[in-house]
Amino acid sequence: MEEEERGFVFKITVIGDGAVGKTSLIKKYTQGSFQKDYIKTLGAQFSKYDEKINGDNVKLFFWDIAGQAEFMFMRPTFYKGSKAAIIVFSHGPGEEESFNHVKNWHDDIKQYCGDLPVILFGNKIDLVDEKELNDEPIKQLVKERNFLGYYKTSAKTGEGVYEGFQTIIKELHARYKDM
């Protein structure tokens, strides 16, 4: 008799300040596309994506939560049922402040979901000279907060996107496969 294929459903919440590229990163991973014009996410939107990991069917729901303060009151509802989170900040010029808010985003999701696997994406890496980046504060934060890792990403070029998403997805699969 053939071994039955197992299925998993994971909700992954993608959070961070407005305009850091959350929607673009999800689109890059799920559709391979990049849209140059910024369109503000209203409240939240989700993308469904199916993939196979070690022969198991994995259904992924990426919840893209609006980063603007006016949507703050809706967040607890959107966080519900999350199995993991991706926190995104921007390396883009003039968006350095988004890194300073990573702790707030982490505290926020932890408050409603407890300790769940979190990965950090530093997006828009294509807009800066990587040689001039000081990664020390980022590495310190990842260690301090026990994040799964940190990926320099570009929704435009695709740098780090696949690897970052795969890290969180494989972590979830490993965590839940023996349950």
Task: Return d(Cα 48, Cα 70) in angstroms, integer.
Answer: 26
Q: How confident is the model at residue 36 (pLDDT cuts 50, 70, 90)?
A: confident
Has residue 126 been placed in a domain?
A: yes
Q: Is residue 38 scored above 80 in pLDDT?
A: no
Please give the radius of gyration of the chain, using alpha carbons only, rounded to the nearest integer: 16
Residue 41's domain comprises 7-176
The DSSP symbol for 48 reads E
Task: Return d(Cα 150, Cα 158) in angstroms, integer.
Answer: 15
Task: Return d(Cα 91, Cα 82) in angstroms, integer.
Answer: 26
pLDDT digits (tens, 9 = 90+) for 66-113: 888 888 888 899 999 999 999 999 999 989 899 999 999 999 999 999
Percentage of the chain lying above the pLDDT 70 cut? 97
* CA angle 85–82–80, rounded 5-degree value: 130
Say what the pLDDT of residue 5 is.
Answer: 61
Six-digit token pair at 104? 């707030």
Backbone angles phi, psi at 103, to 5 degrees: -60, -40
Residue 124 vs residue 72, higher pLDDT: 124
Q: What is the CATH number of the domain that holds 36?
A: 3.40.50.300
Say what the pLDDT of residue 101 is.
Answer: 97
35: which residues sit within 8 A by CB, 6+ positions away? 24, 27
Domain count, the chain: 1
Has residue 109 been placed in a domain?
A: yes
Six-digit token pair at 25? 């990163």
Tell which residue, 55, 56, 51, 114, has the closest CA to residue 82: 114
Six-digit token pair at 107? 């505290």
Has residue 74 been placed in a domain?
A: yes
Cβ atoms of 98 and 17 within 8 Å: the answer is yes
Has residue 116 been placed in a domain?
A: yes
Has residue 1 been placed in a domain?
A: no
